[in-house]
Structure 1
Amino acid sequence: MAKNLKVLQRPEAESSSLHLTTAMNMMLKLHLVRIKNEDKMRLYLLETFCLLIPVSVIFALSPPQATVAVGADQLVVLHWVESNDPGVIGYNVYRRTGLTGSFSKVNQQRLSITGFADVTVHNDTTYFYYVTAVSVTGQESDSSNNVRVIPHFLSDDELLDFLEHAAVDFFWYEANPLNGLIKDVSTQDSPCSIASVGFGLTAICIGIDRGWIPRDAGQQRVLNTLKTFWTLPQGDGSTGYAGYKGFFYHFLDMKTGLRARNSELSSIDTGLLLAGVIYVKEFFNTPDSTDQLIRSLADSIYDRVDWRWMEATANHGGIYMEWTPDNGFNNVSWWKGYCEAMIMNTLATGSPTHPANAGDLYLTWTSGYQWGTYYGYSYVVFPPLFGHQYSHCWIDYRNINDPWMSKKGITYFENSRRATLANRAYCAENPGHFVAYSDSIWGLTACDGPPPSYYMARGGPPAQNDDGTIAPTAAAGSIPFTPEESVTALRAIYDNYRSKLATPYGFADAFNPTKGWFDDHNIGIDQGPIAIMIENYRTAKVWNIFMENTDIQRGLKALYFSPITEVRQGKSGFAPTPYLFQSYPNPFNPNTTIQYVVTRKSHVTIVVYDVLGRRLEELYDGVQLPGTYSTIFNAINYPSGIYFCSLVVGGSRFFQKMILLK
């Protein structure tokens, strides 16, 4: 290190305290430092600066903070908080086996992210870890806190818990905590993806529910995020803006929040962002002042979006896919046909300020539907599985339907189930003769891939860009539709490819055994369905909370969705469950309609409670046959406030919140 520094030594006679005159003589100039990194020479230019502190203090790097470790099956995952010291360019991880002995470095190359997956461990063995920060000169900080962990075999439920937790961690650690922006990809130079932020806002709430993220920390991160999106500049210029007309550019700079990579103003990515914004509005629902501010900001961000401006009115309705400052809507397609954009349509038609024309949008959208039959499953076709997952992350389609799908006798939920099973059957048949494809290792969707193809939408049937690349998010994001098949696939991928696919955030994005290619990073829009859909499978909580939103209910109603009571079952026998819809209108004064579904002859009770849990009124108590029912709650004699409707059907209980505003 000394050969890179020119230091003016102080006289030996000086006392240990540093006088001003001596300090002035200790101006330290850091020049160009060449560092060899992964066989490439990188040039680091550090600003020349003056320091009035001893050299020993100048180079005392702060150690990484809040190191945590999670043990899985022959795997340990570590995370820590990023160092803010200038000159820190990476980290090293050290491990000790057992209670005695010395620590040794386990990472072969310097780590550029704040996480590490150690696959060189054995189950039921105790390990200790610490982390150090590394400067541009190769100097290491003191060690972080030591963490103790014991890897162990995972049951199916523990495997899902691990994968869900790991996916949530992506959105917590691959973010700028000051502004809440979340990376597109877990690489050092990745920009923010606004869709990743939408998934991430929801994932943070899951982390709070699961105890992985403290509520106050998660609440503050969400607040920072919403403040950022509300205050970022909007305008029609090509630079210096984050969005226009309430929409946002696909990619934003992680620090400034401004347009990055010359990206497009994206309607679908804005829609996915808004789904997360609406979710946190419903999640943070207490009278706490910060919760109130979150709800206010969420409304402001959503209400500002001008969906009418984004309508392709000259083309008989529908929403344009994108807009750019240079080309406007010239040569731009609009959304037509079944895909991931159903959530966007619902947001567009549910807007209380600038709603899209629901009739034109619905006709344009459904005019592109393609009904097909593959491997014995008949459904609306979209080969990559992400198109069957994204909207379902938030909207519960199990017991609602629109006219087009009603004529086919199935729901969109059942449609996604059939598409997933057909995707699995396609991989099992393996028409491309790829390595590893089977009924236990399957899943084709949009994902990374081996060069020169890289990221693209892969799917089947019918085959679409199928080159032998499998993405774990395909099976994980379909787990509510195909729980047994998805768990089998996730375990098979883990058992067979753990050592090559493990990252700090669970599985790497994708792998291609035929070409010997295994990804080494994660993508936010693939991590999102893993976290959210596993949670929906386990508790349905994301569905339940999101469906409380009145704007979403308005949008679904505008698109002709209504409750259903009977679904034509396909293979594996999906059956509907009882359901309590959000009362409408909500807020209300003084009447609101409560609608619910009974799927088999059952004893039914409907009771209204106040916010303190006191029983106020019994609206129904009796036996009902399968069908859709409704009743009116008249609150003329009650004060403004929050009330809860309880539906009990057989042994199942459902709640919905109602807000009376007089």
Structure 2
Amino acid sequence: MAKGHNMTFTPPVSSLSRRALMMATAAATGLTLTGCQLPKTKTTASTKGWDDTLADLHKRTFQWFWDVTPPKTGLTPDNWPNPDFCSVAAVGFALNACCIGAHSGYVTRAQAAERTLTTLRTFWNGPQGPERAGVMGYKGFFYHFLNMGTGLRHDTVELSSIDTALFITGALTAAAFFDGDNDAEKEIRKLGVALYERVDWTFLERDNGLISMGYHPEPGLNGHDATGRIIRSWDRYNEGMMVYHLAMASKTHPIKATAWDTWAATIGVTWADNFGEPHLGFAPLFGHQYSHVWYDYRGIADAYMRGKNIDYFINSQRATVAQRNYAIKNPGGFKDYSGDVWGLTACRGPAYTKGKVDGREVQFFEYSARGPQTGDKEANDDGTIAPTAGISSVAFSPEICLPLIHTLREKYGSDLYGEYGFYDAFNPSFPKDLPSRVGHQTPKAGWVAYEYLAIDQGPILSMLENHRSGLIWDLFNRSPVTGPMVRRGFQLAGFQSTGPAGDWLKAKP
């Protein structure tokens, strides 16, 4: 899920991860657009706007996690209807979903607790070790993908720092939510914390003070050091912030307290107008969303952001508004781009092929990281819009994300909206005479990927809930179970309260 420094793209691979994609995609930096109206950035939403459309999407997206996750293991598949392997990150989002489902009355608290406990037991009891096969993880980390039947390492995927982090934040959220005195909820709290404390973050700590993206037990692989760790570290601005928060806050295996400053020293290169107000750029919106699903950055800032007089929440607001500005400008001339139809991120795409759009030749992609074109470095924009991109920013910028949600429902109807909410992606510009092995042409939306990806569904549900009630933010940042850990990580990184919304950070860890 990390980005690279050169704008190069690879042919489609069936199980290509966001990390692999972003190692080949640079963060967006570039031009200022004129003539685009920017809603005034603010630290909290001015209106909720919750209605039947949002409620239906919320319920359907929850139901996806509940229905596709095997109740006997909790191994949520990477995508549906093709559950080839479990995604460890998906399980983190599924644990959030259990909390949201119980909170919303979609399932009983007992049902949600049973599913959660089964999941945590699966991951706690799964074999850990240095072996190349027959294990679920090593040093407390988990492999990126797991076999749906056995829960063991899928193929030769990497031991993943970011996917482990996404799982751990979900496990800790569950530990915060299930605060009852019965045996099941007590065990959920015990396992959620134990899984976090078992992770040896120092195992992936590199000599440069940053955290490696992962590890392979197979020796001599390109892009790896002599220990098997991936050379690429979590640097620059992206979703990797949460890895540092967890690793620095750990009581059992913390990394150096200087890690955040080391990371922060790498992020300034992406600070630019980026099609809107100045902010740290990252082309696909998921990089502005994943850490924010759990960590509440409103009214708190580290030294870098205090120097810019904003916080990371406002940075994500600005990135969201900038994507809408980009769609209004529409430099690529793609169909349907507008102020109410927009959103680029990592998602499915129609095909790895070239085709004509209004007489221009366009390179199309299958699964790929997508973002605005910036200057002479062209980010990957082939006209493919992902509903998750804009919807998952609803907690940042409801004034532009709510109209997007309603327009997608009303304009495209059942072409884009199915049993479990919005399909992963669509492309009205993809020529109808070109073949696609991962989607179908529709009357209204053009090409549509008729599938659901867990790491796209997860932010939709969690950020809708954060917009509606702040549930995940409140549980993760302010509960007695997880609050001290979160505050410790923030305070070690030099975060300070910059307004009333961040006063909770002033408490001792």
Whether TM exceeds 0.5 here: the answer is: yes
Whole-Å separation in 1 of the counterparts to 2:53 and 2:391: 11
Whole-Å separation in 1 of the counterparts to 2:107 and 2:230: 45
SS at match of 2:429: helix
Whole-Å separation in 1 of the counterparts to 2:321 and 2:146: 37
Cα deviations by residue, 1:586-628 (Å, 9 ceiling, x for unpaired): xxxxxxxxxxxxxxxxxxxxxxxxxxxxxxxxxxxxxxxxxxx
Aligned to 1:318: 210
Aligned to 2:20: none
| 1:486 shift after superposition | 0.5
Preserved contact between residue 347 and residue 368 of structure 2 (Cα < 8 Å): yes
| Correspondence 1:94-493 to 2 at 5 A | 157-313=51-207, 316-327=208-219, 328-329=227-228, 332-369=231-268, 370-452=270-352, 453-460=365-372, 462=374, 463-493=378-408
Aligned to 1:643: none
Change over 3 Å in CA distance of 1:561–1:156 after alignment to 2: closer
Whole-Å separation in 2 of the counterparts to 1:362 and 1:578: 21
| 1:290 shift after superposition | 1.1
SS at match of 2:202: coil
SS at match of 1:248: strand
| 1:555 shift after superposition | 1.0
Aligned to 1:537: 467
| 1:368 shift after superposition | 3.2
Preserved contact between residue 300 and residue 502 of structure 2 (Cα < 8 Å): no
Letter paired with 2:183? S
Preserved contact between residue 371 and residue 379 of structure 1 (Cα < 8 Å): yes
| 1:365 shift after superposition | 4.2
1:514 to 429, 453, 458: 429
Aligned to 2:504: 580
Change over 3 Å in CA distance of 1:410–1:311 after alignment to 2: same
Task: Write 1 or 2 for the structure with the bigger share of helix.
Answer: 2
Preserved contact between residue 296 and residue 477 of structure 2 (Cα < 8 Å): yes
Whole-Å separation in 2 of the counterparts to 1:360 and 1:547: 21
Letter paired with 2:366? Y
SS at match of 1:511: strand
Bigger CA radius of gyration: 1
Preserved contact between residue 317 and residue 360 of structure 1 (Cα < 8 Å): yes
Cα deviations by residue, 1:203-223 (Å, 9 ceiling, x for unpaired): 110010000011111100000
Cα deviations by residue, 1:114-141 (Å, 9 ceiling, x for unpaired): xxxxxxxxxxxxxxxxxxxxxxxxxxxx
Whole-Å separation in 1 of the counterparts to 2:173 and 2:230: 34
Identity of aligned residues (%): 42
Task: Write 1 or 2 for the structure with the bigger share of strand.
Answer: 1
| 2:437 corresponds to 1:525 | no
| 1:583 shift after superposition | 3.5
Letter paired with 2:323? N
Aligned to 1:552: 486
Higher RCO structure (Cα 8 Å, ≥6 apart): 2
Preserved contact between residue 215 and residue 230 of structure 2 (Cα < 8 Å): no
Preserved contact between residue 158 and residue 214 of structure 2 (Cα < 8 Å): yes
Deviation >4 Å, runs of 4+: 576-579
Whole-Å separation in 1 of the counterparts to 2:205 and 2:417: 43
| 1:356 shift after superposition | 1.0
Preserved contact between residue 214 and residue 229 of structure 2 (Cα < 8 Å): no
| 1:157 shift after superposition | 1.3
| 1:577 shift after superposition | 4.2
Aligned to 1:6: none
| 1:190 shift after superposition | 2.3
Preserved contact between residue 183 and residue 193 of structure 1 (Cα < 8 Å): yes
Whole-Å separation in 2 of the counterparts to 1:191 and 1:375: 38
Letter paired with 2:508? Y
Change over 3 Å in CA distance of 1:373–1:490 after alignment to 2: same
Preserved contact between residue 65 and residue 97 of structure 2 (Cα < 8 Å): yes
Letter paired with 2:368? M
Whole-Å separation in 1 of the counterparts to 2:458 and 2:75: 15
Aligned to 1:501: 416
Preserved contact between residue 80 and residue 453 of structure 2 (Cα < 8 Å): yes
| 1:158 shift after superposition | 1.2
RMSD: 1.5
Letter paired with 1:329? G
Preserved contact between residue 211 and residue 234 of structure 2 (Cα < 8 Å): yes
Whole-Å separation in 1 of the counterparts to 2:324 and 2:228: 38
Count of aligned pairs between the two proteins: 419
Cα deviations by residue, 1:436-476 (Å, 9 ceiling, x for unpaired): 11111000111111112221111125352111010111111
Preserved contact between residue 396 and residue 543 of structure 1 (Cα < 8 Å): yes
Whole-Å separation in 1 of the counterparts to 2:373 and 2:467: 25
Preserved contact between residue 373 and residue 380 of structure 2 (Cα < 8 Å): no
Whole-Å separation in 2 of the counterparts to 1:362 and 1:276: 26
Query: Higher mean Cα deviation, 244-253 or 361-370?
Result: 361-370
Preserved contact between residue 435 and residue 514 of structure 1 (Cα < 8 Å): yes
Whole-Å separation in 2 of the counterparts to 1:246 and 1:194: 13
Whole-Å separation in 1 of the counterparts to 2:497 and 2:55: 32
| Correspondence 1:17-96 to 2 at 5 A | none
Change over 3 Å in CA distance of 1:299–1:578 after alignment to 2: closer
| 1:171 shift after superposition | 1.2
Preserved contact between residue 402 and residue 560 of structure 1 (Cα < 8 Å): yes
Whole-Å separation in 2 of the counterparts to 1:330 and 1:194: 19
Whole-Å separation in 1 of the counterparts to 2:395 and 2:298: 10
Change over 3 Å in CA distance of 1:582–1:364 after alignment to 2: closer
Change over 3 Å in CA distance of 1:210–1:524 after alignment to 2: same
Letter paired with 2:462? I
| 1:361 shift after superposition | 4.1
Preserved contact between residue 503 and residue 521 of structure 1 (Cα < 8 Å): no
Change over 3 Å in CA distance of 1:183–1:376 after alignment to 2: closer
Whole-Å separation in 2 of the counterparts to 1:165 and 1:196: 18
| 1:329 shift after superposition | 3.1
Whole-Å separation in 1 of the counterparts to 2:496 and 2:263: 20
Whole-Å separation in 2 of the counterparts to 1:376 and 1:333: 29
Whole-Å separation in 1 of the counterparts to 2:295 and 2:418: 30
Whole-Å separation in 2 of the counterparts to 1:582 and 1:347: 19
Letter paired with 1:414? I
Structure 1: unaligned runs, 5 residues or longer: 1-154, 566-575, 586-662
Whole-Å separation in 2 of the counterparts to 1:376 and 1:298: 40
| 1:582 shift after superposition | 7.4
SS at match of 1:278: helix
